[in-house]
């Protein structure tokens, strides 16, 4: 059974600080996705990582993928309140079967 584990599950951080969310998965995959979900809303795609060593950045968020370690990270730089949301990683193992982590609920406090 494929497992996708995120940690931490809950993260409270101060504005201006840096932090990293980790996503580990239990089977071979070259494709990993990050999504953001605001409370009561749908999911928004953040990053699509399609190969080992892939790194993508958008604003204060940077995602990377290490397929050998089966690990992806989502790094937050100088957090701002607008980044408060739940972040999900998802792994695709066959091109059309997606497995999501349980999510990391991020709260950025002033």
Partner 1 sequence: DAGITQSPRHKVTETGTPVTLRCHQTENHRYMYWYRQDPGHGLRLIHYSYGVKDTDKGEVSDGYSVSRSKTEDFLLTLESATSSQTSVYFCASTGLPAFNEQFFGPGTRLTVL
Query: Interface residues with partner 1 (CB under 8 A)?
Result: 4, 31, 33, 41-45, 48, 50, 88, 90, 92, 95-103
Cis peptide before 53 (omega within 30 of 0): no
Task: Specify whether the backbone of 29 is left (phi greater than 0), alpha (psi in -120 to 50) or beta.
Answer: beta
**96 backbone dihedrals φ, ψ, rounded to 5°:** -155, 10
Nearer to partner 1, 56 or 75 (CB): 56
Instruction: Report the nearest approach of partner 1 to the CB of residue 78 (Å).
Output: 25
C-beta of 61 vs 81, nearer to partner 1: 61
Nearer to partner 1, 78 or 85 (CB): 85
Q: How far is the CB of 21 from partner 1 (least distance, A)?
A: 13
Angstrom distances, CA of residue 52 to CA of 65, 91, 102: 6, 13, 23
């Amino acid at each position: 059974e494929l497992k996708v584990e995120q940690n931490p599950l809950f993260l409270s951080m101060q504005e201006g600080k840096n932090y990293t969310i980790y996503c580990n998965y239990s089977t071979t995959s070259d494709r990993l996705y990050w999504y953001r979900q605001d409370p009561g809303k749908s999911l928004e795609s953040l990053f699509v990582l399609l190969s080992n060593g892939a790194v993508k950045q958008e604003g204060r968020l940077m995602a990377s993928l290490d397929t050998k370690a089966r690990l992806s990270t989502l790094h937050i730089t100088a957090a701002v309140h607008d980044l408060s949301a739940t972040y999900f990683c998802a792994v695709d193992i066959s091109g059309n079967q997606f497995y999501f982590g349980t999510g990391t609920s991020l709260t950025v406090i002033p």
